[in-house]
Amino acid sequence: DTEVTQTPKHLVMGMTNKKSLKCEQHMGHRAMYWYKQKAKKPPELMFVYSYEKLSINESVPSRFSPECPNSSLLNLHLHALQPEDSALYLCASSQEDRHPTTGYEQYFGPGTRLTVT
């Protein structure tokens, strides 16, 4: 099973709302990622969890709050977003190796299309 699932597929929220994006994988991967992708642009890395610990935070505004409850789940909590935060949010996972000799591809979910009104 090489599937990463994301819910919801689409989300419309107001600037005062609080919502969460969810991501799940059952491939035994110990690294999980959140990316933001604007239209016609490449994905931009937001957060990386490695062995359930936040290892990379790419200077993302605090209105985005990640959470990794266990090795299979990744959440992104959203609060007081701005219209410019409207984008496709992609979750990914990969193997993790503390002494890598090869690169591990990331498996992506289908994404959540977020619209902030």
Partner 1 sequence: AQKITQTQPGMFVQEKEAVTLDCTYDTSDQSYGLFWYKQPSSGEMIFLIYQGSYDEQNATEGRYSLNFQKARKSANLVISASQLGDSAMYFCAMRDLYNNNDMRFGAGTRLTVKP
Query: Smallest distance from the beta carbon of 110 to partner 1, in angstroms?
Result: 5
Name the site residues for partner 1 (rule: CB under 8 A): 31, 33, 40-43, 45, 48, 50, 55-56, 88, 90, 92, 94, 96-97, 100-111, 113
Query: Smallest distance from the beta carbon of 31 to partner 1, in angstroms?
Result: 6
Number of helices followed by number of strands (H, E) in the chain: 0, 11
Distance CA 40, CA 42 (A): 7
Query: Smallest distance from the beta carbon of 108 to partner 1, in angstroms?
Result: 4
Closest CB to partner 1 among residues 79, 108: 108
Best CA proximity match to 51, nearest among 64, 67, 70: 70
Closest CB to partner 1 among residues 81, 92: 92
- The dihedral of CA 74, 79, 83, 84: what is its sign? negative
